[in-house]
Structures are given as structure tokens and as C-alpha cells.
Amino acid sequence: MSRLIAGLDLMNEAGPLHLGGRPFLPLRLEHRRGRGVGAGGPFPARWLWTPPHHRLEGISLPIELLGAGLSLLHSPDFIVPRFWRGRSVVTVHDLAFLRHPELLTAASRRYYGQVHRSLRQADAVIAVSRHTASEIAALTDTTAQKVHVVPNAIHPRFSPRGDEAADRAAWDRHGLLTAEGPRPYVLFVSTIEPRKNLATLLRAFALLHRMDPRVQLVLAGAEGWLSSEVHALATELGLGESARFLGRVTDEDLAALYRGARLLAHPALDEGFGLPVAEALASGTPVLASSAGSLPEIAGDAALLLDPRDAGAWAQAMGRVLDDGALAARLRAAGPPRVARFTLRAMAEGTVAVYGAAFDGRKP
């Protein structure tokens, strides 16, 4: 949502935002536990008591919004509150939880199980890729007229060139800096959870590490549901300090991690967009990505696409990119132009067009 707000701010710099020929002002809805954290945003905020994903969200959030004067509510995480009675837009990132319900906790299944009702209730639906739009058509009864593809955006900080001193400081903070620069590492970026298919990556890296013990696996992302299984497998494989779980990192450090990596490996079983893959491509980082979900749509021939279940193929491909300078250079050059269209402004303009469609039921 922060990328959308940044894009709307760019639009607003060129003149007041308009919807249906009339000016409008976005209102950010923020939970009170985040008050005073970070820089806030360019638009006014309403501070909420209702925690995200709370079981009573469908009742309590509409009550909290009484008197806010909202013309439209945008729910960026699948679920429109059940008792919201105004116009609404909902963003669907993927429907992996319908394809793979076994990868969710019981609480997550209950929350995301509302998606069918949410899609019926919404006046318009944003899908973040053509793949997600096709999944909505295949797995729900949502009418095609309501679904609009608006891709995610890549923040400009993710680029091949950064501040060298800041990058070196970030590598140093995470124990990756040597006298010659960052030590060789394979990067994974995402929440630590089963859907990201870290089992394949850990097994592939174990094979690679036997051939080249200098290389480390760096995993940057918050702990998600069922993440203990991932840590248990890393221990079982004897990876020790060669697999480093950094947890959530700042956006600035993440940009440096992309630029310093020999490659990004993203073997997810399903993706609705694949933001880490897009960010790595924008950063000029060679990418190995799963052939599942939206990733072929996003990466195309700018990445090496692999069967997400074949650990041997992943180990072999990682070794090729690490050893073949010409292949790595080709992938580095191919990434930025592939994802250049995913800008903050394009995301914001597409979203505002969908807001307009929510008022009159048309395609933007």
C-alpha cells in the first residue's frame, strides 16, 4: 500500500487528484500500534483500533469508519469488511490459498476463506497480474467486468546503482562485507513460509555448498506461518552458518542486498506477482525463478525459470550463474528493461481508473 500512496503523491504533485471529474483526497487508514513509526505519508490518516485480520474486523472496522465521509473503501488485502455498506474496491494478490489450503494455518484459512464473499461484495476488483486475473476467473464466480489488472510497482530505490558507501555499510551490518566487497551469496527475499517453497531452495543450496563452500545463502524476510519447518530443515541439512536468516530488513538494506548478491533464487510454488523477482530484476541481479504462477509473466526471458520441485536443477542452475560470467552478465543486463514499466505512477494511475470504474461499473 505504501507504493500506491507514493504513486498517488506523484500524481498529486502535478495537480489535485480527480475522480470522475471531481477532486478527491485519499485518506490513509492506519492501525494505532504503528502511530509514530516511520515517516507517515503525504495524505491525512485515520487511526484505527481494529487490528488487521481480526475475527471481528467485518463488524468493528465499518463502525470505526462511520462519520469518516468515505466515498469508497479500498481493501488492499483481499477482504472487504462484511458490514461495509459503501462502495468498495478490493485488491487480490494471488489465490494460492485456494490452490494450496494445506499451506495455511487454521486462522489464515478462516480469514482468507471470506474471499468469495468479498469479491461478490466489491464494486471492482484489482488483480496484480494477468495470472491472478485468470485465477479469479477459474476459482471464483466473479464477473469478468469487475476485474481489472493493475500490476504492482517497483520503488526507484531498487536499481543497479546505489550509494557505494551506504551499500558497503549495509553489507557490513549483515556480516557480508570483505576487503574486496560483498562475499559471494545467493539471496532469497520473502516471508519465511511453506508457500515460498524454501524446502527446494535449502536442498538445492546444500548440494551447491558441497561444491563451493565459499557461497552463503542469505534469507531476508519476516517469519511467517509454519516457518519452524523451514528452520528445522536447515538444521537437518547441516547448513549451519552457511544459511543466514536475517529476518525483516529495512528497504535501504534490501536494495543493497540485491545489488550485492550473485543471484536471487525464488522457487515459490505460486505467486500472484512476485515482487522480489521484479525488484531483483530492476536491481540488475541475476534471477532464478520458479516457472509457476505469475513469474513467467513478470520475468520472461530475463530470468532462468525452473521447476519449483526439482532441487537438483536449482543447484545446477545456481552453479551455472556463479561460474559463467557471460550468463550472469546477460541476466544482469536483461533485468532492468524487463520491469521498467512497473512504476509507482503507473500503479497509481491504474488504481485511480479502477476507483472510477467502481462508481459506474465500466472497464477503465
265 pLDDT band, cuts 50/70/90, is: very high
**Residues sharing a CB contact under 8 Å with residue 71, sequence separation 6 or more, in sequence order:** 19, 24, 86, 87
Q: For the chain, where are the E strands, in sequence order? A: 18-19, 22-23, 28-31, 45-48, 72-75, 87-92, 124-127, 147-149, 177-178, 181-182, 185-189, 216-220, 243-247, 263-266, 287-290, 304-306
Count Cβ atoms below 10 Å from residue 184 Cβ, excluding itself: 16
CATH number of the structural domain 2-153+343-360: 3.40.50.2000
**What's the rounded mean pLDDT across residues 236-255?**
96
Are 2-153+343-360 and 164-338 in the same CATH fold? yes
Q: What is the pLDDT of residues 298-324, one digit of tens each?
A: 999 999 999 999 999 999 999 999 999
Average pLDDT for residues 68-96, to the nearest whole number? 95
**What pLDDT is recorded for position 168?**
97
CATH of domain 164-338: 3.40.50.2000
Domain boundaries of the chain, sorted by first residue: 2-153+343-360, 164-338
Write out the H or E segment, with its range, that includes residue 318. helix 311-323
Q: Is the pLDDT confidence value at 172 over 80?
A: yes
pLDDT band of residue 19 (cuts 50, 70, 90) is confident
* pLDDT at residue 104, as a whole number: 78
Q: Rounded to an integer, what distance in angstroms lies between the CA atom of residue 262 and that of residue 264?
A: 7
